[in-house]
């Protein structure tokens, strides 16, 4: 359905929309980028070493084009293929629950959340029955599960926000995730 508006009204609406977005983003930017927060990457890179569950296609990376054209310009593009459940990734509720949400159904407000170390499950290089059992109950509860989180950084226990950014595979049972924690920087007191 389209709404007919006069041009001046359209301009007013456009201006107000911009004003709201700018005013909100500038305050969020101030919080995030004034130097008091650190960004901690909790993601393993995807390459030939990435671990995958059995019977799952490992990460296949194919170089397609890479080089200079005659005019001196550079162009590079590759292809990749992989199973859903490998490396740092998300298990959508649908992974273990036929009525559960698929990756593409998980709303953003459920993916940018207070960081809680208990939600981050590390399987390292071991493929553990325990982890799969945990994932089963997490998914059955309508929650998502994160696997193979890179936990070699010292993440503060309180005050962090987790950004869980899976590849938005519409019908996915899981997906690769870029996972980050944004945390207040820890500072030593000026004086004791
Ligand atoms: Zn998985």
How many angstroms separate the alpha carbon of residue 92 from the centre of ligand 1? 8
CA of 91 to the centre of ligand 1 (A): 5
User: What is the rounded average pLDDT of the residues 2-20?
Assistant: 56
Tokens of 143: 């929650």
Q: How far is the CA of 153 from the centre of ligand 1 (A)?
A: 22
Asked if 174 contacts 53 with a C-beta cutoff of 8 angstroms, the reply is: no
For residues 34 and 26, give the distance between their C-alpha atoms in angstroms, rounded to a whole number. 11
Residue 1, SS3?
coil
* pLDDT score at 125: 36
pLDDT at residue number 144:
83
Q: Which candidate, 139, 142, 159, places its Cα nearest to that of 38?
A: 159
Centre of ligand 1 from the C-alpha of residue 135, in Å: 8
Closest CA to 171 of 118, 97, 92: 92
Instruction: Give residue 9 CA to ligand 1 midpoint distance, Å.
Output: 50
Which residue, among 91, 185, 187, has the nearest Cα to 138 in the 3D structure? 91
Ligand 1 center to 172 CA (angstroms): 11
Residues around ligand 1, an ion, CB closer than 5 A:
85, 91, 147, 174
- Spacing, Cα 169 to ligand 1 middle (Å): 14
pLDDT for position 63: 96
DSSP states of 41-101: E--PPPSTT--B-TTSPPPEEEEEEEEE-TTS-EEEEEEEE--SSBSSEEE-GGGT-TTSP
**For the segment 170-188, what is each residue's pLDDT rounded down to a tens digit?**
999 999 999 999 999 877 7
Q: What is the pLDDT of residue 26?
A: 67
Q: What is the pLDDT of residue 33?
A: 86
Delineate the domains of the chain, giving CATH numbers in brackets. 36-57+84-184 (3.50.30.50)
* Ligand 1: centre distance to CA 161 (Å): 22
Chain segment 18-47, per-residue pLDDT in tens = 445 555 556 888 878 888 899 999 999 999
pLDDT in tens, 113-160: 888 766 554 433 334 444 555 667 666 677 788 888 888 888 888 889
Cα-to-centroid distance, 125 and ligand 1 (Å)? 14
Q: In angstroms, what is the span from residue 184 Cα to ligand 1's centroid?
A: 30
pLDDT category, 12, cuts 50, 70, 90?
low
pLDDT at 1: 46
Provide the whole-model pTM.
Answer: 0.76
CA of 24 to the centre of ligand 1 (A): 35
**Higher-scoring residue by pLDDT: 4, 88:** 88
pLDDT tens, position by position, 45-101: 999 999 998 899 999 999 999 999 999 999 999 999 999 999 999 999 999 899 999
């Amino acid at each position: 359905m389209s709404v007919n508006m006069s041009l001046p009204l359209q301009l007013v609406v456009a201006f107000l929309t911009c004003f709201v977005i700018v005013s909100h983003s500038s305050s969020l930017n101030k919080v995030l980028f004034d130097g008091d927060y650190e960004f901690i990457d909790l993601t393993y890179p995807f390459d030939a070493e990435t671990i995958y569950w059995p019977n799952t296609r490992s990460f296949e990376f194919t170089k397609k084009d890479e080089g200079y054209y005659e005019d001196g310009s550079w162009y590079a593009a590759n292809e990749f293929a992989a199973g859903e459940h490998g490396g740092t990734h998300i298990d959508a509720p649908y992974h273990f629950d036929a009525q559960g949400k698929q990756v593409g159904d998980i709303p953003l407000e459920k993916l940018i959340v207070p960081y809680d170390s208990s939600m981050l499950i590390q399987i390292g290089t071991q493929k553990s029955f325990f982890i799969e059992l945990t994932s089963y109950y997490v998914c059955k509860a309508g929650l998502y599960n994160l696997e193979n989180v890179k936990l070699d950084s010292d993440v503060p226990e309180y005050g962090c926000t987790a950004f869980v950014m899976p590849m938005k595979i519409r019908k996915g049972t899981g997906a690769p995730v870029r996972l980050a924690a944004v945390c207040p920087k820890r500072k030593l007191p000026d004086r004791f």
